[in-house]
């Protein structure tokens, strides 16, 4: 049984409780982060903490813990659960007022709810899918306009994964006005003539922490990066495609809507970036 963290307490998972009036539950009024753990260490903790602060501030939410306390809680959960490889999920919501109401409660009266738990994923960095690549479908992007805020409103991405599954695929790329925004839970890239292309950071996509690191490593390795929108047609005609996220690192995409990308096998750019990302992340993990 896991030990989880809820509002200041470490508890066995079956004793951890949140109110039915919690606004995370009733209104999806909350934000989250997922930090990966490799060899018992946190990958890019600072990046996730900075983005968390930004998500909170965009929603006028206040963190119930300081940055140092947050790091301490992450480390304590790793230790208490003897976590080697896996993830730490963190969620902060606008708390549980006495009743359901669209209006935000007074933050001085209703403290935010904070929950963290671990997910063990032995061999996280050796996922077999990294060798075979994943297959994606395209779906229309019908999400709201503030995708840069990492909110817990994940119904549509969840439906997107189910649509992919129904077609025997692994994931979905979302498309708006002909241009790919991102994957359901990852940022999307193509490679054309050696150049890495990915959508720029606007409110249309989540500003991936893995994306930031991968683009930095790509530039350090003298790879050419174009931050610009790309169409689905361009993606289908690309030499390579891949996605990035904290839990999958760099994952090759080998098929879009049944069309093989490039040779139909994971490409060299994605493979190299995955290698560099894992190597550098392990070195920098805390
Ligand atoms: N885009 C979306 C919609 C996501 O949900 C995620 C991760 O959950 C990402 C991109 C990748 O972000 P990160 O690299 O910070 O995990």
Looking at ligand 1, which residue's alpha carbon is closest to its atom 1?
Answer: 186
Residue 284: what pLDDT?
A: 96
Which residues fall within 8 angstroms of residue 106, CB to CB, at 6 or more apart?
none
Q: Which atom of ligand 1 is nearest to the CA of 205?
A: 1
Which sign, positive or negative, has the C-alpha torsion 260, 265, 269, 270?
A: positive
211 lines ligand 1 (CB under 6 A): yes
Instruction: Calculate mean pLDDT across residues 19-27.
Output: 98
Tell me if 281 CB under 6 Å of ligand 1.
no
Give me the chain's average pLDDT, please: 98
The whole-number average pLDDT for the span 227-248 is 98
Best of 42, 244, 245 to mutate for ligand 1, by most ligand atoms within 8 A of CB?
245
| Confidence (pLDDT) at 56 | 98
At 254-286, the pLDDT tens digits run: 999 999 999 999 999 999 999 999 999 999 999
pLDDT at residue 252 in the model: 98
Mean pLDDT along residues 210-217: 98
Q: What is the pLDDT of residue 245?
A: 98
CB atoms closer than 10 angstroms to residue 221: 11
Average of per-residue pLDDT across 106-134: 97
Res 123: pLDDT = 94
Rounded CA-CA distance 238/123 in Å is 30
Q: What angle do CA 227, 137, 125 make, to 5 degrees?
A: 70
Q: What is the pLDDT of residues 145-160, one digit of tens each?
A: 999 999 999 999 999 9
CA atoms within 13 A on the CB side of 122: 1
Local confidence band at 222 (pLDDT 50, 70, 90 cut-offs):
very high
Residue pair 180/205 in contact by the 8 Å Cβ criterion: no
Q: Give mean pLDDT, residues 50-73.
A: 97
Which atom, in ligand 1's list, is nearest to the CA of 246? Answer: 16
Nearest CA to ligand 1 atom 9: 186
The confidence score (pLDDT) of residue 131 equals 96
CA angle 110, 111, 112 (to 5 degrees): 120
183-211 tens-digit pLDDT = 999 999 999 999 999 999 999 999 999 99
What are the two backbone dihedrals, phi and then psi, of residue 278, each rounded to the nearest 5 degrees? Answer: -65, -40
In this prediction, residue 8 carries a pLDDT of: 98
Q: What local confidence, expressed as pLDDT, does residue 135 receive?
A: 98
Contacts for 135 with CB less than 8 Å, ≥ 6 apart: 168, 169, 170, 253, 254, 255, 256
State the pLDDT at residue 244: 98
pLDDT at 108: 96
User: Would you place residue 226 in the very low, low, confident or very high pLDDT band (cuts 50, 70, 90)?
Assistant: very high
In this predicted structure, what is the pLDDT of residue 130? 97
Q: What is the pLDDT of residues 84-112, one digit of tens each?
A: 999 999 999 999 999 999 999 999 999 99
Global confidence as pTM: 0.97
């Amino acid at each position: 049984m896991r030990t989880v963290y809820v509002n200041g307490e470490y508890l066995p998972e079956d004793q951890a409780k949140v109110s039915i009036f919690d606004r995370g539950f009733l209104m999806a009024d909350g934000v989250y982060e997922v930090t990966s753990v490799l060899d018992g260490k946190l990958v890019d903790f600072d990046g996730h903490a900075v983005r968390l602060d930004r998500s909170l501030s965009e929603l006028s939410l206040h963190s119930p813990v300081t940055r140092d306390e947050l790091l301490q809680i992450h480390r304590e959960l790793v230790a208490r659960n003897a976590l080697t490889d896996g993830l730490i999920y963190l969620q902060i919501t606008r708390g549980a007022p006495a009743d359901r109401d669209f209006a935000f409660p007074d933050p001085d009266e209703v403290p935010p709810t904070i929950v963290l738990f671990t997910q063990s994923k032995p061999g996280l960095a050796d996922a077999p899918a990294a060798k075979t690549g994943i297959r994606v479908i395209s779906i229309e992007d019908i999400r709201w306009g503030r995708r840069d805020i990492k909110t817990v409103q994940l119904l549509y991405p969840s439906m997107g994964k189910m649509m992919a599954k129904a077609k025997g695929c692994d994931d979905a790329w979302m498309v708006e006005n002909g241009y790919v925004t991102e994957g359901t839970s990852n940022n999307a890239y193509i490679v054309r003539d050696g150049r890495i292309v990915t959508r720029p950071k606007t409110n249309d996509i989540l500003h991936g922490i893995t994306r930031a690191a991968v683009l930095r490593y790509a530039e350090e390795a003298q790879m050419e990066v174009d931050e610009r929108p790309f169409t689905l047609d361009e993606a289908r005609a690309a030499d390579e495609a891949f996605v990035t996220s904290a839990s999958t690192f760099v994952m090759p995409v080998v098929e879009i809507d049944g069309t093989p990308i490039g040779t139909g096998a994971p490409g060299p750019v994605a493979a190299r970036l995955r290698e560099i990302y894992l190597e550098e992340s392990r070195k920098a993990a805390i």
